[in-house]
Amino acid sequence: MEESLSRLTRLAFARESNDYLHKDVDELSLVEDLKKKYGLKRVHRLDVGKNIDGFSPLIQDVLETPELLGLVTGSLTEYPENSYLRLRRQLALHHDIPPEWFVFGAGLESVIDHIARAVLDPGDFVLIPVPNFDVFENVSFRMGASLCFTELFNLRWDGNTVERLCGQMRDGAYRLLWISNPINPTGQHIPADAIETLLSLASKTGTLLVVDEAYGEYGDTPDRIRSASALLKTYPNLMVLRTFSKIHCLPSARVGYMASSSEALRRAVNTYRPMFPFSWFSLYMAQLAVLDTDYVNEIRRRNQERKDRFWARIQREDSGLHAFEFLDSDTNTLMFRHADLGADALHGFLAAHGFLTANLNRLTGIRNQGFLRMTLHGDAVNEEFLDACRKVTC
């Protein structure tokens, strides 16, 4: 049957996957098997980047009302609302842009896929600073694009990164530049002036720029969002992405969105959107989440305080963690590695002690460099995790 598949699909098959978790892995069984094999009471999912404090109490309140059953039952028998008028209006206020500038999808992963389909032709050049969210390269590759990677020096984005990306854009005809901000997996926040420098040049070289702010809320402040959406009015070549999966802690709702001032781009991406990407229930949850800015501010504050305490622990003289290198991050996730133990062995060791982490050893830009990524939890779990790290012997 393989011969009936498209050339691009067969090419995609031939490419080694760099996902840290394969699509067909039964995650629940994985966790149960670990428990059985190592006699663990609990396995902590430090591999998932969502906020560990859960969703807004506004959502909890709604879930506890007796009317909920009726609402859910009623909504299941109808196709969901798919013009998203109310959510559009809410997000428009939040980003200070017109409501019609939004396009929605079943999580950002779908939106990213729709963008690639909408703008890439086979043979187009795509620019990706790496390490980065691997879905960018996967979807671009599936469209037959030629991938050009720019490696970050010392895994940090700096002025030099912008210069090198600008140099590449001047020298070649790039259709698309993919950026995540904060960067997944390093967690580093890229300053707005760097984005604007890239955008300004990209608008002259005919390059589209995607700024994926899946973790963007970690960089916002209590009174102002710090989003590239502020640049949309000036730059029609910009697409800004956000999701309800991370700080809002609604990954199962599968609600993600793109904002763009270009009618052509919005129409193009919408063309690939299914008619009903997510359920009515998901939409309702997202509408509630976006209302509760106090909660988002609270989660950001808690995360910062936890991170400060975590850093204080690992930087102590007597931490017992000197063989470990942790990278500072502006989000709730941290990359780390061990001086002597490879990523696969370290990943297996931590899993055997009840901590699932994201294994980044196959990620472009940091392949075979031994890195894993963990999501910060509460102090007690973080401390247990560090205890497990202290037990590593080579």
Residues at the contact surface with ligand PLP, assessed by CB under 6 A:
49, 107-109, 133, 180, 184, 212, 214, 243, 245, 251, 256
Minimal distance, residue 214 CB to ligand PLP, in Å: 3
Minimal distance, residue 95 CB to ligand PLP, in Å: 17
Token representation of residue 24: 């067909």
The amino acid occupying position 48 is V
Nearer to ligand PLP, 182 or 354 (CB): 182
Nearer to ligand PLP, 109 or 220 (CB): 109
Minimal distance, residue 351 CB to ligand PLP, in Å: 20
Helices (H) and strands (E) in the chain, counts: 14, 13
Q: Residue 9: in which H helix or E strand, if any?
A: helix 7-14
- Who's near 76: CB < 8 A, 6+ residues apart? none
Minimal distance, residue 264 CB to ligand PLP, in Å: 23
Minimal distance, residue 107 CB to ligand PLP, in Å: 3
Nearer to ligand PLP, 35 or 94 (CB): 94
Q: Residue 338: in which H helix or E strand, if any?
A: strand 333-338
Nearer to ligand PLP, 219 or 256 (CB): 256
- Who's near 256: CB < 8 A, 6+ residues apart? 104, 105, 106, 107, 108, 109, 110, 111, 214, 241, 242, 243, 244, 245
Minimal distance, residue 6 CB to ligand PLP, in Å: 24
**100-124: burial string, b at 16+ Cβ within 10 Å, e else:** ebbbbbbbbbbbbbbbbebbbeeeb
Q: Residue 7: in which H helix or E strand, if any?
A: helix 7-14
Minimal distance, residue 17 CB to ligand PLP, in Å: 16
Token representation of residue 315: 């930087």
Q: Which of 161, 40, 202, 176 is nearest to 115 (CA)?
A: 176
Nearer to ligand PLP, 256 or 365 (CB): 256
Nearer to ligand PLP, 107 or 131 (CB): 107
Minimal distance, residue 109 CB to ligand PLP, in Å: 4
- With H, G, I as helix, E, B as strand and everything else as coil, classify residue 18: coil
CA distances from 216 to 247, 270, 322 (A): 9, 23, 31
CA distances from 270 to 16, 28, 113, 178, 251 (A): 30, 34, 11, 19, 21
